[in-house]
């Protein structure tokens, strides 16, 4: 069983990025679970002065990241960058091993969110994660009006997501066999 940890960079209840990750969880093959982090809004602002105290939400985030076989991230773009909430959560993980050699897939719910996507690539590279580029796809949800059920039912989108999950699975297995 492969455990995928999912992070949405959006705090919006009706977020396309969160809906995309929830759809991925429903489309995942039986040998894969996708768990969405639901506490992004509770992550305190990164402060090195309190980093050693390990706030409980940070300890949970770190433990879930470390336990995961891979991470999947979907984030909207704000002002040509990653959302502050997601960047803040990632900043908390810079000083630990949570992302070191961790396979990561980036999903992009808006093809015009090129700057945030590029910034996420740079961030995970600096954190020594392993981007699974062939599974990192753009999913044109912007303006489509699709909720989770609509994404799952959409033939082209669900097919692309299933294909990305299979590429992800194969790469995780390949990487695990090397360790």
Domains of the chain plus CATH, in order, are: 2-178 (3.40.50.360)
Give pLDDT tens digits for 17-38.
999 999 999 999 999 999 999 9
Q: How do 77-78 and 81-82 pair as beta strands?
A: antiparallel
Predicted model pTM: 0.95
Q: Is pLDDT above 90 for 85?
A: yes
Across the range 83-88, mean pLDDT stands at 97
What's 41's DSSP letter?
Answer: G
Task: Using the predicted structure, report yes or no on whether residue 53 has a pLDDT greater than 80.
Answer: yes
Distance (Å, rounded) from C-alpha 71 to C-alpha 123?
14
Distance, CA of 56 to CA of 4 (rounded, Å): 21
Q: Which helix (H) or strand (E) holds 24?
A: helix 16-27
pLDDT tens for each residue of 100-141: 999 999 999 987 888 999 999 999 999 999 999 999 999 989
Could you please report the per-residue DSSP string of 56-117? HHHHHHHHHHHH-SEEEEE--EETTEE-HHHHHHHHHHTTSSTTTT-EEEEEBS-TT-HHHH
User: Phi and psi at residue 46, in whole multiples of 5°?
Assistant: -60, 130
Q: What is the pLDDT of residue 52?
A: 85
């Amino acid at each position: 069983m492969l455990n995928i940890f999912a992070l949405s960079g959006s705090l919006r209840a009706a977020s396309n990025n969160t809906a995309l990750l929830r759809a991925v969880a429903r489309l995942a093959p039986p040998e894969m679970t996708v768990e969405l982090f639901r506490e992004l809004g509770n992550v305190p602002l990164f402060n090195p002065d309190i980093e050693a105290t390990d706030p409980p939400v940070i300890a949970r985030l770190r433990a879930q990241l470390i336990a995961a076989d891979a991470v999947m991230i979907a984030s909207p773009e704000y002002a040509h960058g990653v959302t502050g909430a997601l960047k803040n959560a990632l900043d908390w993980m810079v000083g630990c091993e949570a992302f070191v050699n961790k396979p990561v897939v980036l999903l992009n719910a808006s093809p015009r969110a090129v700057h945030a996507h590029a910034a996420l690539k740079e961030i995970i590279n600096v954190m020594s994660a392993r981007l699974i580029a062939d599974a990192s796809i753009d999913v044109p949800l912007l303006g489509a009006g699709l909720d989770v059920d609509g994404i799952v039912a959409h033939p082209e989108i669900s097919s692309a997501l299933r294909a990305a999950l299979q590429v992800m699975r194969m790469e995780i297995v390949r990487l695990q066999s090397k360790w």
